[in-house]
Amino acid sequence: MRHIIGWDIGGANIKAVQINEAGQAIHVWHRAAPLWRGLHRLTDSISAIRSTAEGDQCEHVVTMSGELADIFPTRSEGVRQIGSAMQRTLGKEPVLFFSSESDFMDYPERKAEEVGSMNWYASSQLAARLVKDGVFLDVGTTTTDITLIRNHEAQIMGYTDAERLMSGELLYTGVLRTPLMSLAPQIVIGRQKYNLMAEHFAVMADVYNLLGTLPEKLIPFETPDGDGCSKFESARRIARMIGRDCEEDGSLGEWTRLAQVFADLQCERIADMLQRINATSVMDLVGTGTGRFVLEGVAKHSKMTYYDINTLLDTRGVVSGPFTLADCLPAYAVAELFRRGHANR
């Protein structure tokens, strides 16, 4: 059996994991590729990743959520164009696409509704094999996916984005791209209430950057004003949310306290959603995603015990480089699910 490369094609990032015949991860890639700036950002990243992978011939399995990028007129057209770009860029190597039926198909446009935005489903199927009872959270740069697991079965209420937004299993909040104005119309600092400006002045990356909790591997990040990622620049953007200025020669203490208010709001929003879908009925919270560093706080708020999924993957996830399998779990999940289903070929 050839090596397998699993791909997770998002709207802002591409993640890929190469595994061998035993399911051991060999390489993990995480690259920024904002699709809204053109499909060439996707094909350039695919080529760059493939050029550093091992082996002349690999099997490729793909999951995606990038079809939501607004360069595509519809989600189904996004699935078609992403699928075509993958097949064209990878040439004669076989490319298959993961679907909600847990199978793999070669022409994703035939069942675009079953292929698009199914990266969470791939991860939940793998997590259910590792976790008997718990709640599985994937916190990324833009979204948070929530799946309740009981007796090694994922308890899924909705499959499409629309269904999962209604059920609470999909929450549009992440650790990089989420605008601060989306967290609340008003905040309270001490006894003072502040109405927030409904402007895209600052994002959650600014919050965690200023607090010093944003992993270095996520810096630099894309900023709303196009400026840099120093703590001062993050503080300046955050200050604008309440109509203030951060002076370059002043203390950042006031703005760090403001950043903590926004971090607490995001934590509470995720915890409230766990309560809403009855996920706090289990005691264990298993986290994945580049934003999983916020989940210890969520678990504490919800009186749950937190586990990083890397601890459950054991040596399968030991790879060199800044990113781990937990950062790119959907890519690893599709590769591993495919390997297990085709191990005897």
| pLDDT tens readout for residues 108-136 | 888 898 999 999 999 999 999 999 999 99
Average pLDDT for the chain: 94
Q: Are strands 284-288 and 305-308 parallel, antiparallel or unpaired?
A: parallel
Please state, as a whole number, how many other Cβ atoms lie within 10 Å of the Cβ of residue 179.
Answer: 15
Residues 121, 245: Cα–Cα separation, whole Å: 43
Does the structure show a pLDDT above 90 at 193?
Answer: yes
Residue 29: the pLDDT is 97
Does the structure show a pLDDT above 80 at 249?
Answer: no
| pLDDT tens readout for residues 167-191 | 999 999 999 999 999 999 999 988 8
Does the structure show a pLDDT above 70 at 345?
Answer: no
Mean of pLDDT values over 185-209: 95
Does 161 or 251 have the greater pLDDT score?
Answer: 161
Question: What six digits make up the tokens of 150?
Answer: 């009981």
Mean of pLDDT values over 319-341: 93
Would you place residue 34 in the very low, low, confident or very high pLDDT band (cuts 50, 70, 90)? very high
Q: Which residue has the tokens 């969520």?
A: 298
Residues 170, 162: Cα–Cα separation, whole Å: 9
What would the DSSP string read from start to end of 191-205? TEEEEPP-S---BHH
Does the structure show a pLDDT above 90 at 149?
Answer: yes
Does the structure show a pLDDT above 70 at 1?
Answer: no
Question: Whole-prediction pTM value?
Answer: 0.94
Residue 190: the pLDDT is 85
Residue 343: the pLDDT is 47
Residue 318: the pLDDT is 64
Q: Are 152 and 132 a contacting pair, CB within 8 Å?
A: yes
Which helix (DSSP H) or strand (DSSP E) does residue 151 occupy? none
Residues 214, 139: Cα–Cα separation, whole Å: 13
Mean of pLDDT values over 188-217: 96
Residues 254, 249: Cα–Cα separation, whole Å: 13
Residue 52: the pLDDT is 95
Q: Which residue has the tokens 């078609």?
A: 80
For each of the domains in the chain, give its residue range(s) and CATH number, in order of start. Answer: 4-121+328-341 (3.30.420.40), 180-267 (3.30.420.190)
Least confident of 37-46, 212-221, 279-288: 279-288
Would you place residue 323 in the very low, low, confident or very high pLDDT band (cuts 50, 70, 90)? very high
Mean of pLDDT values over 193-206: 97
176: β partners:
none
Q: Are 54 and 18 a contacting pair, CB within 8 Å?
A: yes
Residue 2: the pLDDT is 85
Does 286 or 278 have the greater pLDDT score?
Answer: 286
Torsion angles phi and psi, residue 24, rounded to 5? -80, 130
What would the DSSP string read from start to end of 23-46? S-EEEEEEEE--GGG-THHHHHHH
